[in-house]
Amino acid sequence: MTLAAGNSHRRSVICALAWVALLVGCSHTPATLTDQDVPGSLRHQRLLFVGAHPDDEWVLMPVFVEACVFNGATCHFVSATRGEWGCFETLGQPDLDACAGIREREFRRSAAIAHGSAEVLDWEDLFYAHSGGGVRRNLTRWSQREGGREHLVEALVSLLQRFDPDVVFGLDPRHGATCHPSHRAVSLILIDAVRRLPAIQRPRVLFENAFAVQERMTPEMLDASARGAMFPWPTGSAGTLYYDGNRSLPNGRRAIEYQVDALRAHASQFPELPAEIRIDADASALRIPLADLADIDPAEELCTALDLGDYRTVDKSLAHVFRRIEALAAAAPPGIAVHLVQGGATVLQVGLLDSTGHQSRKDFGLRDVQLVVGAASREEADAALDAIERIVSRYVNAPP
């Protein structure tokens, strides 16, 4: 019997023998929490974080450090995607596999701050509209790629059974902090997985409930945010709990400082982080907002009303791939030409196809898009087509 299975078995036996459990319930954690209870409730517990990207845990890092470095808890961090699209804008890195490798290593460094372990699943890194519709498209795409939503849920059920957490953390499915649809989609699948477990084995689920949509912050909020302040979501926040990031830990550091440590671990995502960061917002604003799954309606939609249509997403069709293709073409051997045609009109042209000895073509019927790559030889053209096709296909094959 594995340790995880043993833990579950012991809980089951205790619940079965304790008749009082029929009245008060048997769970991993107390039935209710207050702000003061949060740190103490995590002592010697098994804590699991499940996010969409390898840097989604940074806001909650103070919670994990206090619990897992100083209070005997065990931390495990999981990212559903490899975050392979996250290096182009910050590092100019168009190689998706190289980016994924960078981000996985950073994720493990961040987890190590809390003496934790980390693992990365291989769900596709996506960015649809920051709205309820975008969440649905995200779930559709993942389901298509992974053999159905049931397979997604079962993957997280298996994770829960293997690690056997007392408390699971994630990003609030109502908004995902930034309204990123992948943040929300992962948490919705996580909730389904938790609910598949027998009631006596279900962990408490706590979500980061911070409002991090900078485009909808007031100037005063932006200024305070730059100095470490956090804000609960202005809608649906009646049940918000807080972890006090201003609290002093046994090593003399303020808990909030570990957010900066986590940001520095993710150097590919925050390459321009200053050497010195002032965390001097009002102490009342240095509290991490949390929401208990038991207190929220996870289907509540808090992002669509913010009208974030100006965000760059797959809904911008092919516009976002141009710079990536240009970067690939610029890094390719001399003589590579790339043409992208949509609806019969050339929407991107790098080099002259007529000057190349061979052209390789890929047709994307769904959006009436053709990708043509020219090079001196068939081998060079096919190799370049393969690299660029992976980028274009993310957009033109996206579900409507």
pLDDT at 29: 46
Each residue's pLDDT tens digit, 155-168: 999 999 999 999 99
Q: What are the start-end ranges of the E strands in 212-293? A: 241-244, 287-292
Domain limits of the chain? 29-306, 317-396
Contacts of 233 (CB under 8 A, 6+ apart): 172, 174, 175, 209, 210, 211, 240, 289, 302
Name which of 266-280, 283-297, 381-395 the model is least confident about. 381-395
With vertex at residue 286, the alpha carbon angle to CA 189 and CA 261, rounded to the nearest 5 degrees, is 70
Average pLDDT over residues 272-289: 92
pLDDT value at 169 more than 90: yes
pLDDT at 242: 94
Greater confidence (259 vs 377) lies with 259
At 135, the pLDDT band (50, 70, 90 cuts) reads: very high
pLDDT at 211: 96
Name which of 64-68, 216-220, 386-390 the model is least confident about. 386-390
Greater confidence (98 vs 399) lies with 98
Average pLDDT over residues 364-379: 82
pLDDT at 346: 82
Cα–Cα distance, 192 to 152 (Å, whole number): 10
pLDDT value at 15 more than 60: no
Average pLDDT over residues 68-93: 91
Greater confidence (182 vs 363) lies with 182
Contact of 146 with 158, CB cutoff 8 Å: no
At 24, the pLDDT band (50, 70, 90 cuts) reads: very low
Three-state SS annotation for 332-391: CCCCCEEEEEECCEEEEEECCHHHCCEEEEEEEHHHCEEEEEEECCHHHHHHHHHHHHHH
Contact of 73 with 45, CB cutoff 8 Å: yes
Helix 96-113 to helix 257-265 angle, to the nearest 10 degrees? 150
Name which of 2-6, 266-270, 278-282, 337-341 the model is least confident about. 2-6
Average pLDDT over residues 30-49: 82
Give the helix/strand (H/E) hosting 51.
strand 46-51
Whether domain 29-306 has CATH 3.30.450.20? no
Q: Which two tokens stand for residue 162?
A: 């293997």
pLDDT at 70: 98
- Tokens 């898009």 found at: 369
Identify residue 50 by its one-letter amino acid code: V
Residue 176's Cβ-count burial label (10 Å; 0-12, 13-18, 19+) is buried
pTM of the predicted structure, to 2 decimals: 0.79
Please give the radius of gyration of the chain, using alpha carbons only, rounded to the nearest integer.
23
Q: 344 in helix, strand or coil? A: coil
Phi, psi angles (nearest 5°) of residue 335: 95, 0
Contacts of 147 (CB under 8 A, 6+ apart): none
pLDDT value at 18 more than 50: no
Cα–Cα distance, 235 to 174 (Å, whole number): 10
Contact of 247 with 254, CB cutoff 8 Å: yes
Q: 9 in helix, strand or coil? A: helix
Q: Which two tokens stand for residue 20?
A: 């009082």
In DSSP notation, 135-166 reads HHHHHHHHHHHHTSHHHHHHHHHHHHHHH--S
Cα–Cα distance, 326 to 320 (Å, whole number): 11
pLDDT at 150: 97
Average pLDDT over residues 359-387: 84
pLDDT value at 196 more than 60: yes
pLDDT value at 53 more than 80: yes
Q: 67 in helix, strand or coil? A: helix
Greater confidence (72 vs 367) lies with 72
Q: Which two tokens stand for residue 292?
A: 């208990």
